[in-house]
C-alpha cells in the first residue's frame, strides 16, 4: 500500500485531498476484509468479495458519489497491483459503479453578494482587509480553496494584474485580477506590512500572527459573511467558485473560457453550470419570444 500511495503522489500527482480520501477508502476496505473474510492482504480479494463490500456500502445508504469514489480507489489499486505483477487477474473488471444522481452546484445570488462586497463596511484593520480579500479572491477568480491557500507573493503580478495558481495535478494556470480584487489586494498588502516582520512565510494569506491560513479558517470567514445575505446551507468556499462560474455563464461568457479559468481538465466538468442557468434562459425566453 505504501508503494501504491507513493505512486499516486509522485507519478500520478494526485492532490493531497484525494490521497487522504484514498487512504481512508483503502483502510476501510482492508478492515472489511479482515472482519468478514479474515483476509489480511487486499491482493487476495476476488470479484465476489469486492462486490460484497460495495453492496454493504449500499445497504448502509452511503451516497452513490462516495461509493463511486471508493470504487475508483480500488480500480487504481488493483490496476497498480496488476502492473506490479502482484496479481494475475484484475478483480475490478466487472465491477459497475452505482448511478449517481446529478447534484447541481449551489451558488449565491449575484446582486446580494455584490452588494455585500461593495457596500458592507469591513473593519478597517488587517483582519477586515484579509476577510474581504478572501471573498474577493474566491468569487473574483473561481479558484479552489487549496489554490487560494497555496498563493505566495511571487505568484501575484500587480503590474499585469494576474495571479498564478497551482491546480489539480500540479497544473499551473494564470487568472486575471479584476479591479475590485486589485484594490482589495493593494489594501491588504499594505496592512500585512504591519505584522511581524520576522516571519519568513511567503504565503499571501496569513493570520494576525503572520502564520499561513488553513482551510477551517477560510470556511469560518466565508460562512460568516454569506450568512449575512442568505439563510441557505450553501456557505462553503466552493460555493463562491460555483457562483463565479454561474454568474459568468449568465452574463454570456464562453463555456470554454470558464473551463480554462476554473482549471477543469474537460468541458464535461464545466457543463454542469449550464443547468444553473436554465432559469436565466427561461426569463430571457419569456421576455423575448412572441409566443411566450
pLDDT in tens, 126-165: 999 999 999 999 999 999 999 999 999 999 999 999 999 9
Contact indicator for 180, 151 with CB cutoff of 8 Å? no
Indicate whether 141 and 245 sit together in one domain: yes
Indicate whether 77 and 122 sit together in one domain: no
Q: What is the pLDDT of residue 105?
A: 66
Each residue of 87-141: pLDDT tens digit?
A: 999 999 989 888 766 666 688 888 999 999 998 889 999 999 999 999 999 999 9
Residue 170 is assigned to a structural domain of this protein? yes
Q: Is 168 a catalytic residue?
A: yes
Q: How confident is the model at residue 277 (pLDDT cuts 50, 70, 90)?
A: low
Each residue of 198-225: pLDDT tens digit?
A: 556 789 999 998 899 999 999 999 999 9
Number of Cα atoms under 13 Å in the Cβ half of residue 40: 0
Catalytic residue, chosen from 78, 139, 188, 273, is: 273
Indicate whether 225 and 264 sit together in one domain: yes
Q: Is 144 a catalytic residue?
A: yes
Q: Is 164 a catalytic residue?
A: no
Catalytic residue, chosen from 129, 144, 242, 247, is: 144
Indicate whether 121 and 214 sit together in one domain: yes
Could you give the percent of the chain with pLDDT greater than 70?
A: 90
pLDDT of 197 above 90:
no
Catalytic residue, chosen from 130, 132, 259, 264, is: 264
Contact indicator for 145, 136 with CB cutoff of 8 Å? no
Indicate whether 7 and 54 sit together in one domain: yes
Residue 237 is assigned to a structural domain of this protein? yes
How far apart, in whole angstroms, are the C-alpha atoms of residue 19 and residue 40?
A: 22
Q: Nine-digit cell at 193?
A: 506590512
Catalytic residue, chosen from 130, 241, 247, 259, is: 241
Indicate whether 165 and 224 sit together in one domain: yes
Q: How confident is the model at residue 194 (pLDDT cuts 50, 70, 90)?
A: confident
Residue 48 is assigned to a structural domain of this protein? yes
Q: What is the pLDDT of residue 117?
A: 92
For residue 206, the domain's CATH number is 1.10.443.10
How far apart, in whole angstroms, are the C-alpha atoms of residue 155 and residue 169?
A: 18
pLDDT of 60 above 60:
yes
Total domains, the chain = 2
Indicate whether 147 and 194 sit together in one domain: yes
Residue 61 is assigned to a structural domain of this protein? yes
Q: Is 264 a catalytic residue?
A: yes
Residue 185 is assigned to a structural domain of this protein? yes
Q: What is the pLDDT of residue 266?
A: 86
Q: Is 287 a catalytic residue?
A: no
Indicate whether 44 and 176 sit together in one domain: no
Contact indicator for 186, 197 with CB cutoff of 8 Å? no
Candidate from 42-56, 209-223, 226-240 with smallest mean pLDDT: 226-240
Q: What is the pLDDT of residue 103?
A: 65
Catalytic residue, chosen from 47, 168, 173, 192, is: 168
Average pLDDT estimate for 33-60: 94
How far apart, in whole angstroms, are the C-alpha atoms of residue 96 and residue 109?
A: 38
Q: What is the pLDDT of residue 107?
A: 86
Q: How confident is the model at residue 282 (pLDDT cuts 50, 70, 90)?
A: low
Residue 114 is assigned to a structural domain of this protein? yes
Catalytic residue, chosen from 23, 75, 164, 238, is: 238
Mean pLDDT of the chain: 89
Q: What is the pLDDT of residue 87?
A: 95
Indicate whether 58 and 190 sit together in one domain: no
Domain residues for the domain of 212 are 110-285
pTM for this model (two decimals): 0.67
Where do we find the cell 459568468?
A: 248
Q: Is 47 a catalytic residue?
A: no
Indicate whether 59 and 140 sit together in one domain: no
Residue 97 is assigned to a structural domain of this protein? no
Residue 171 is assigned to a structural domain of this protein? yes
Neighbour order of strands in the sheet with 162-166 = 156-157, 162-166, 172-176
Indicate whether 114 and 74 sit together in one domain: no
Amino acid at each position: 500500500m505504501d508503494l501504491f500511495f507513493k505512486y499516486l503522489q509522485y507519478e500520478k500527482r494526485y492532490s493531497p485531498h484525494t490521497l487522504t480520501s484514498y487512504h481512508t477508502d483503502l483502510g476501510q476496505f482492508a478492515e472489511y476484509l479482515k472482519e468478514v473474510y479474515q483476509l489480511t492482504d487486499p491482493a487476495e480479494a476476488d470479484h465476489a468479495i469486492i462486490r460484497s463490500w460495495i453492496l454493504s456500502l449500499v445497504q448502509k445508504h452511503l451516497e452513490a458519489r462516495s461509493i463511486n469514489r471508493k470504487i475508483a480507489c480500488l480500480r487504481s489499486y488493483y490496476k497498480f497491483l496488476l502492473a506490479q505483477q502482484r496479481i494475475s487477474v484484475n478483480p475490478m473488471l466487472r465491477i459497475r459503479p452505482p448511478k449517481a444522481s446529478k447534484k447541481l452546484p449551489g451558488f449565491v445570488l449575484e446582486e446580494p453578494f455584490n452588494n455585500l462586497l461593495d457596500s458592507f463596511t469591513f473593519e478597517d484593520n488587517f483582519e477586515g482587509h484579509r476577510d474581504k480579500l478572501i471573498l474577493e479572491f474566491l468569487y473574483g477568480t473561481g479558484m479552489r480553496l487549496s489554490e487560494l491557500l497555496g498563493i505566495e507573493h511571487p505568484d501575484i503580478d500587480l503590474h499585469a494584474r494576474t495571479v498564478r495558481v497551482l491546480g489539480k495535478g500540479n497544473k499551473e494556470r494564470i487568472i486575471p485580477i479584476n479591479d475590485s480584487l486589485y484594490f482589495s489586494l493593494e489594501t491588504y498588502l499594505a496592512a500585512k506590512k504591519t505584522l511581524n516582520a520576522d516571519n519568513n512565510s511567503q504565503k499571501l494569506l496569513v493570520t494576525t500572527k503572520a502564520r499561513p491560513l488553513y482551510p477551517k479558517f477560510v470556511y469560518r470567514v466565508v460562512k460568516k459573511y454569506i450568512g449575512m445575505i442568505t439563510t441557505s446551507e450553501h456557505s462553503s468556499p466552493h460555493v463562491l467558485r460555483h457562483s463565479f462560474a454561474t454568474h459568468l455563464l449568465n452574463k454570456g461568457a464562453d463555456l470554454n473560457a470558464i473551463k480554462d479559468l476554473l482549471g477543469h481538465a474537460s468541458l464535461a466538468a464545466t457543463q454542469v453550470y449550464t443547468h444553473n442557468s436554465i432559469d436565466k434562459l427561461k426569463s430571457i425566453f419569456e421576455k423575448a419570444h412572441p409566443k411566450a
